[in-house]
Amino acid sequence: MKNIKFLFSVLAVLSVFAFKTNSYAQQYPVLYFCESYGSGGETGVSDRFTKGYLTVMVKADGPLGLRDCSIQMDKYSCTSGTFKYYKKFDYKIEPDMKYVYFAKNDESDMSFDETGIYRVFLLDHNGRTVASGLVEIIP
pLDDT digit string (tens) for 65-104?
999 999 999 999 999 999 999 999 999 999 999 999 999 9
Distance CA 120, CA 108 (A): 14
- State which fold the 25-138 domain adopts: Immunoglobulin-like (2.60.40)
Distance CA 115, CA 111 (A): 11
> Full-prediction pTM beyond 0.85?
no
Distance CA 132, CA 111 (A): 17
Residue 43 φ then ψ, to 5°: -125, 130
Least confident of 15-19, 66-70, 134-138: 15-19
